[in-house]
Chains A and B, each alone.
Chain A
Amino acid sequence: MTGLFGRGGMRTWVRGVWREWRSAELRVLATALVVAVAAVAAVGFFTDRVDRGMAQQATLLLGGDMAVVGNDPIPEEWLAEAERQGLQTARTAALPSVLFTPDDDSRLSALRAVDRDWPLLGEALVRSTADRDPEPYTRGPEPGTAWLEGALLQALELEVGDTVEVGELELEIAGEIVREPDRGSYLLDIAPRLMLAFDDLEISGLIAPGSRVRYELFVTGPATQLERYRDWIEERLEPGQRLRGLDDASPELQVAIERAERFLGLASLMAVLLAGAAIAVAAHHFAQRRADPAAVMRALGASGRRILRLYFGHVLLIALVASSVGLIIGFGAQFVLSALLGEWLAGDLPPPGARPVAAGFGVGLITAIGFALPALLRIGRVPPLRVLRRDLGLPPASVWLSGLLALLTFGALLYWQAADPQLAAWVLLGTAGALLVLGALGLLMVLALRPLRDHGGMALRFGLANLSRRGGLSAVQLVAFSIGILALLLLAIVRVDLLSAWDASIPEDAPNQFFVNIQPGQEEAFADRIEASGLERPQMDPMIRGRLIAINDQPVQPDDFDDDQTRRLVDREFNLSYAEEPPAHNRVIEGHWFHHGPTGEAADDVWSVEAGLMERFGLETGDSLTFRVGGQPVRGVIANVREVDWDSFRVNFFVIGPPALLGDQPRTYITALHVPEGMGAEQNRWLREFPAVSAIDVSAIIEQVRDVMDQATRAVEYVFLFTLLAGLTVLLAAVQATRDVRRRETALLRALGARRHHIRRALLAEFGSLGFLAGLLAAIIATAVGALLAWQVFEFDYRINPMTFVFGIVGGTLGIALAGWLGTRSVLRQAPLGVLRGPE
Chain B
Amino acid sequence: MDASSSSVLEARDLQQRIAGPSGVLDILRGISLSVQAGETVAILGASGSGKSTLLGLLAGLDAPSAGEVRLLGQTISELDEDGRAALRAGRVGFVFQSFQLLPALTAFENVLLPLELNPEHEGRSQVEISAWARDALKRVGLSEREAHYPHQLSGGEQQRVAIARAIVDRPAVLFADEPTGNLDGQTGGRIIDLLFSLARDPDHEDRRTALILVTHDADLAQQCDRILHIQDGMLA
A interface list, Cβ under 8 A from B: 391, 453-455, 457-458, 461-462, 465-466, 468-470, 745, 748-756, 758, 829, 831-833, 835-836, 838-839
A755:B82 contact, CB within 8 angstroms: yes
The answer for the CA separation of A577 and B151 in the assembled complex, in Å, is 78
**Which of chain B's residues have a CB closer than 8 A to the CB of A749?**
102, 113, 117
Which among B56, B102, B112, B177 is the interface contact of A748 at CB below 8 angstroms? B102
The answer for the CA separation of A447 and B151 in the assembled complex, in Å, is 18
Which among A745, A752, A756, A839 is the interface contact of B117 at CB below 8 angstroms? A752
A462:B86 contact, CB within 8 angstroms: no
Q: Given A465-B109, A750-B81, A752-B113, are A835 and B61 neighbors across the interface (CB < 8 Å)?
A: yes
**Which of chain A's residues have a CB closer than 8 A to the CB of B86?**
753, 755
Q: Given A458-B117, A461-B109, A753-B114, are A838 and B98 neighbors across the interface (CB < 8 Å)?
A: yes
B90:A753 contact, CB within 8 angstroms: yes
Which among B89, B98, B149 is the interface contact of A753 at CB below 8 angstroms? B89
Interface string of B105-124 (1 = CB under 8 A from A): 10001001110111000000
Query: Closest Cβ of chain A: how far from B123's Cβ, in Å?
Result: 13
- A741 to chain B: closest residue by CB: B103
- B86 to chain A: closest residue by CB: A755
Q: Given A462-B102, A469-B103, are A751 and B59 neighbors across the interface (CB < 8 Å)?
A: yes
A753:B96 contact, CB within 8 angstroms: no
The answer for the CA separation of A259 and B175 in the assembled complex, in Å, is 68
**Which of chain B's residues have a CB closer than 8 A to the CB of A831?**
61-62, 81
Query: Closest Cβ of chain A: how far from B106's Cβ, in Å?
Result: 8
Q: How many residues of B contact A (CB 8 A)?
A: 38
A753:B118 contact, CB within 8 angstroms: yes
Asked if B85 is at the interface of the complex by the 8 Å CB criterion, the answer is yes
**Which of chain B's residues have a CB closer than 8 A to the CB of A755?**
82, 85-86, 89
**Which of chain B's residues have a CB closer than 8 A to the CB of A838?**
96-98, 100
A753:B52 contact, CB within 8 angstroms: no
A752:B88 contact, CB within 8 angstroms: yes
The answer for the CA separation of A752 and B100 in the assembled complex, in Å, is 11
B100:A832 contact, CB within 8 angstroms: no
**Which of chain A's residues have a CB closer than 8 A to the CB of B61?**
750-751, 831-833, 835-836
**Which of chain A's residues have a CB closer than 8 A to the CB of B164?**
none
Interface string of B144-188 (1 = CB under 8 A from A): 000001010000000000000100000000000100000000000
Could you list 26 examples of A-B contacts with CB < 8 Å?
Answer: A455-B126, A462-B102, A462-B104, A470-B151, A748-B100, A748-B102, A751-B61, A752-B89, A752-B94, A752-B114, A753-B85, A753-B86, A753-B114, A755-B85, A829-B81, A832-B62, A832-B81, A832-B85, A833-B62, A835-B94, A835-B96, A835-B100, A836-B96, A838-B96, A838-B97, A838-B98
- B88 to chain A: closest residue by CB: A753
**Which of chain B's residues have a CB closer than 8 A to the CB of A454?**
126
**Which of chain B's residues have a CB closer than 8 A to the CB of A836?**
52, 55-56, 61, 96, 177
- A454 to chain B: closest residue by CB: B126
The answer for the CA separation of A283 and B201 in the assembled complex, in Å, is 52
Asked if B92 is at the interface of the complex by the 8 Å CB criterion, the answer is yes
B113:A458 contact, CB within 8 angstroms: yes
Query: Closest Cβ of chain B: how far from A812's Cβ, in Å?
Result: 21
The answer for the CA separation of A468 and B55 in the assembled complex, in Å, is 34
Query: Closest Cβ of chain A: how far from B14's Cβ, in Å?
Result: 14
**Which of chain A's residues have a CB closer than 8 A to the CB of B165?**
752
Query: Closest Cβ of chain B: how far from A15's Cβ, in Å?
Result: 19
**Which of chain A's residues have a CB closer than 8 A to the CB of B62?**
831-833
A750:B102 contact, CB within 8 angstroms: no
Q: Given A469-B103, A754-B89, A754-B117, are A833 and B98 neighbors across the interface (CB < 8 Å)?
A: no
A465:B55 contact, CB within 8 angstroms: no
**Which of chain B's residues have a CB closer than 8 A to the CB of A754?**
85, 89, 117
Which among A457, A468, A745, A829 is the interface contact of B116 at CB below 8 angstroms? A457
The answer for the CA separation of A457 and B116 in the assembled complex, in Å, is 7
**Which of chain A's residues have a CB closer than 8 A to the CB of B113?**
458, 749, 752
The answer for the CA separation of A453 and B86 in the assembled complex, in Å, is 24
**Which of chain A's residues have a CB closer than 8 A to the CB of B126?**
454-455
Query: Closest Cβ of chain A: how far from B135's Cβ, in Å?
Result: 18
B104:A469 contact, CB within 8 angstroms: yes
Which among B89, B92, B103 is the interface contact of A470 at CB below 8 angstroms? B103
Q: Given A753-B92, A753-B114, A753-B118, are A461 and B59 neighbors across the interface (CB < 8 Å)?
A: no
Q: Given A758-B117, A831-B62, A833-B56, are A465 and B94 neighbors across the interface (CB < 8 Å)?
A: no
**Which of chain A's residues have a CB closer than 8 A to the CB of B94?**
751-752, 835
**Which of chain A's residues have a CB closer than 8 A to the CB of B109?**
453, 461, 465
**Which of chain A's residues have a CB closer than 8 A to the CB of B177?**
836
**Which of chain A's residues have a CB closer than 8 A to the CB of B88?**
751-753
**Which of chain B's residues have a CB closer than 8 A to the CB of A832?**
61-62, 81, 84-85
**Which of chain A's residues have a CB closer than 8 A to the CB of B116?**
457-458
**Which of chain B's residues have a CB closer than 8 A to the CB of A458?**
112-113, 116-117
Q: Which of A745, A753, A831, A838 has the most CB of B within 10 A?
A: A753
**Which of chain A's residues have a CB closer than 8 A to the CB of B100?**
748, 835, 838-839
**Which of chain B's residues have a CB closer than 8 A to the CB of A748?**
100, 102
Q: Given A753-B114, A754-B85, are A465 and B104 neighbors across the interface (CB < 8 Å)?
A: yes
**Which of chain B's residues have a CB closer than 8 A to the CB of A455?**
126
The answer for the CA separation of A453 and B81 in the assembled complex, in Å, is 28
- B60 to chain A: closest residue by CB: A832
**Which of chain A's residues have a CB closer than 8 A to the CB of B89?**
752-755
Closest 10 CB pairs of A and B: A753-B89, A469-B104, A465-B104, A458-B116, A838-B98, A833-B62, A753-B88, A833-B61, A832-B61, A753-B117
The answer for the CA separation of A458 and B61 in the assembled complex, in Å, is 21
- B130 to chain A: closest residue by CB: A454
A745:B102 contact, CB within 8 angstroms: yes
The answer for the CA separation of A752 and B95 in the assembled complex, in Å, is 11
Query: Closest Cβ of chain A: how far from B47's Cβ, in Å?
Result: 14
Query: Closest Cβ of chain A: how far from B24's Cβ, in Å?
Result: 19
Query: Closest Cβ of chain A: how far from B87's Cβ, in Å?
Result: 8
**Which of chain A's residues have a CB closer than 8 A to the CB of B52?**
836
**Which of chain A's residues have a CB closer than 8 A to the CB of B82?**
755-756
**Which of chain A's residues have a CB closer than 8 A to the CB of B90?**
753
Query: 10 new A-B pairs (CB below 8 Å) besides A745-B102, A753-B92, A829-B81?
Result: A461-B105, A469-B104, A748-B100, A752-B94, A753-B91, A753-B118, A756-B82, A832-B61, A833-B56, A838-B100
The answer for the CA separation of A513 and B151 in the assembled complex, in Å, is 76
Query: Closest Cβ of chain A: how far from B63's Cβ, in Å?
Result: 9
**Which of chain A's residues have a CB closer than 8 A to the CB of B105?**
461-462, 465
Instruction: Please provide the chain B residues from 10 to 37 with a CB less than 8 Å away from any CB of chain A in the complex.
Output: none
The answer for the CA separation of A838 and B177 in the assembled complex, in Å, is 11
**Which of chain B's residues have a CB closer than 8 A to the CB of A391?**
151
**Which of chain A's residues have a CB closer than 8 A to the CB of B91?**
753
- B56 to chain A: closest residue by CB: A833
**Which of chain A's residues have a CB closer than 8 A to the CB of B87?**
753
Query: Closest Cβ of chain A: how far from B4's Cβ, in Å?
Result: 24
Query: Closest Cβ of chain B: how far from A458's Cβ, in Å?
Result: 4
Query: Closest Cβ of chain A: how far from B153's Cβ, in Å?
Result: 11
The answer for the CA separation of A457 and B112 in the assembled complex, in Å, is 10
- B149 to chain A: closest residue by CB: A469
- A753 to chain B: closest residue by CB: B89
The answer for the CA separation of A12 and B218 in the assembled complex, in Å, is 46
- B87 to chain A: closest residue by CB: A753
Query: Closest Cβ of chain B: how far from A757's Cβ, in Å?
Result: 8
The answer for the CA separation of A758 and B86 in the assembled complex, in Å, is 11
